Structure 1
Amino acid sequence: MTVGMVPGASIAGMVFSLVVSFALPIGLFVYAKKKLGAKTAPFFIGCGVFFVMVLMLEAAIHRIVFRLAGEALTGSVILYAVYGGLMAALFEETGRYIAMRFLVKPLDFPNAFMYGAGHGGVEAMLLCGVASINNIASAVMINSGTMSAQLATLDAEKAADTAAALSALWTTPSLTFFAGGVERIIAVVLHLSLSILVFQSIRKKAPMELVRAYLFHFVIDSLSVLLSAVASVWVVELVAALLTGGAVLMARYACMEE
């Protein structure tokens, strides 16, 4: 059992991702509150919708589907990508629509923006922020020797399994640890854009804006899964950024239309 040292650059990437995961949502909240005059409630409505629709309902459906479909679904990258994209778009955009239709009051641009900051922000905090905290804590324990001391108290098999699980912290290229933060920046911008599209679909009674929100979400999520199987994480983030740029332009165009 060999425990390596986690490079300082890798820890810097973890810290970067951690800071982005919390500072970006907080910064957007302050901006929407102070500069746009948004209410506070839409931020927490966005947080709640993500928690209920994704972490509770979507996760419950995933457990059922994976139990029934098994490797027929998880064994095919294409099927898994299409399924994942469809489910993400269905639950998140439906939740976004319901929240804006019935909960976000008054429904205007500042509050739609604030909702998007909450929806995308809590996702960043829970998915990337918590993982970054765990990675940093483990890296510090590894480099200080504390982890080796703890592993020495375990039986050989369990110690080896734990070391193998932790090995990604010192074998993964340092630059990769920055990708989590970059991904969250892109994802939050996407959530802001999709929130504006859904807002405009309700305000203008324009169903196509809602359809575009579903499509953008589906395409970006599905393509990200497909590309992750054959390309580097930076290629995946580049494509996601380009598609998100399209969503930003679409949201801006929707705001300019009368």
Structure 2
Amino acid sequence: MDPLVVVTFAVVALLEILVPLALGYWFVKKFGLSWRVFALGALFFIVVQVFHAPLVLVTQTPLYLALLPFGTTAALAGLAIYLGLMAGLFEEIGRYLVYCYIFPRQSLSLSRENGLLFGTGWGGIESMIVALIVLSGMVSYILLTGDGGAIPLPDDPLVQAEIEALRALTPFDILPGLAERMMTITLHIAWSLMVLAAIVYGKKMLLALAILWHAAVDAAAVYLAQTQGILVTEAVIFVFAVLALAYIFWEWRRMGIRAAS
């Protein structure tokens, strides 16, 4: 067991929890917002997943098997597109419905500031859930690679191969997950602003664009992770995140001009 790997697991999990909370705190204090907006983003991410996750779990394997006659590459590409579209449809339409029906009931304005905080809550709770998975991975790493082995394991070559893979982990294998969470939060804020803009400007085409953008990111991540590896995948997500950051600043300015006029 490498102590640096354990420390990296712990630090990554801690930052995946603290960064979205710190960002939310900054927005709340800077703009005088309510934590209710952050909480709504977090709550409805979970609500959406209650419907989204089971549907994907039930349908993805039959779809992949149905596409296999066209070749493994085509099957993987088709599955990636499907998973991306499901994520885009459920999450962006979910945001749209919250803005249209929940915000008015909570007497919350459809302002650019609330859009930022709502997106932070939406992406932030996802980051926190991932942090719990990272912590469970840390516990497994400690138990399975510690001296003497804390868990009795069968003398099976496959099991031993998995243990050796765990022992081969380095801190650099864990850090990309943290970078991905930060990039994903940026994307969720951008999508939240785009869906908000669809309502504010009365242009449902922006909702469709948010769905397609979300679908493209998720589809690329699924396909590239299986075919090109983690570094290429993270590089592509980084490009999407830079575009998202540019959009956030652009939309922030545009909404500000509209509010002032």
Q: TM-score, normalized by length of structure 1?
A: 0.85
Displacement after TM superposition at 1:164 (Å): 4.8
What is the CA–CA distance in structure 2 between the aligned matches of 1:50 and 1:10, rounded to whole Å?
30
Displacement after TM superposition at 1:222 (Å): 0.7
Counterpart residue number, 1:116: 119
Displacement after TM superposition at 1:155 (Å): 5.5
The 10-residue stretch of structure 1 (164-173 or 220-229) with the greater mean CA deviation from structure 2: 164-173
Displacement after TM superposition at 1:28 (Å): 1.3
SS at match of 1:102: helix
**Which one of the candidate residues 181, 184, 193 is aligned to 1:184?**
181
Paired letter, 2:110: L
Displacement after TM superposition at 1:46 (Å): 1.0
Paired letter, 1:130: L
The 10-residue stretch of structure 1 (74-83 or 195-204) with the greater mean CA deviation from structure 2: 74-83
1:150 aligns with 2:147: no
| Structure 2 gaps, min length 5 | none
Report if the CA contact (8 A) 2:84-2:219 is conserved: yes
What is the CA–CA distance in structure 1 between the aligned matches of 2:203 and 2:136, rounded to whole Å?
44
Counterpart residue number, 1:234: 231
**Which one of the candidate residues 38, 51, 60 is aligned to 1:57?**
51
Counterpart residue number, 2:136: 134
The 10-residue stretch of structure 1 (135-144 or 37-46) with the greater mean CA deviation from structure 2: 135-144
Displacement after TM superposition at 1:215 (Å): 1.8
1:71 aligns with 2:65: yes
Displacement after TM superposition at 1:122 (Å): 0.6
Counterpart residue number, 1:196: 193
What is the CA–CA distance in structure 2 between the aligned matches of 1:232 and 1:66, rounded to whole Å?
21
Report if the CA contact (8 A) 2:127-2:181 is conserved: yes
Paired letter, 1:141: L
> Structure 1, residues 152-194: CA drift from partner, whole Å, max 9, x if none?
xx6555xx76655444422244312111111100000100111
Counterpart residue number, 2:171: 174
Report if the CA contact (8 A) 2:5-2:171 is conserved: yes
What is the CA–CA distance in structure 2 between the aligned matches of 1:231 and 1:145, rounded to whole Å?
34
Report if the CA contact (8 A) 1:20-1:184 is conserved: no
Paired letter, 2:119: G
The 10-residue stretch of structure 1 (68-77 or 41-50) with the greater mean CA deviation from structure 2: 68-77
Paired letter, 1:202: I
Counterpart residue number, 1:20: 15
Report if the CA contact (8 A) 1:17-1:182 is conserved: no
**Which one of the candidate residues 39, 42, 50 is aligned to 2:37?**
42
> Structure 1, residues 132-158: CA drift from partner, whole Å, max 9, x if none?
111222333345436x1431xx6555x
Change (3 A) 1:137 1:14: same
Paired letter, 1:150: I
Change (3 A) 1:46 1:86: same
Q: CA RMSD in A?
A: 2.2
What is the CA–CA distance in structure 1 between the aligned matches of 2:204 and 2:250, rounded to whole Å?
15
Report if the CA contact (8 A) 1:196-1:251 is conserved: yes
What is the CA–CA distance in structure 2 between the aligned matches of 1:108 and 1:67, rounded to whole Å?
41
What is the CA–CA distance in structure 2 between the aligned matches of 1:9 and 1:156, rounded to whole Å?
28
> Structure 1, residues 7-47: CA drift from partner, whole Å, max 9, x if none?
33433432232122101111112111111222111111111
Aligned residues: 246
Displacement after TM superposition at 1:62 (Å): 1.5
Report if the CA contact (8 A) 1:13-1:174 is conserved: yes
What is the CA–CA distance in structure 1 between the aligned matches of 2:65 and 2:169, rounded to whole Å?
27
| Structure 1 gaps, min length 5 | none
What is the CA–CA distance in structure 2 between the aligned matches of 1:66 and 1:17, rounded to whole Å?
30
Report if the CA contact (8 A) 1:93-1:214 is conserved: yes
Report if the CA contact (8 A) 1:73-1:79 is conserved: yes
Report if the CA contact (8 A) 2:23-2:120 is conserved: yes
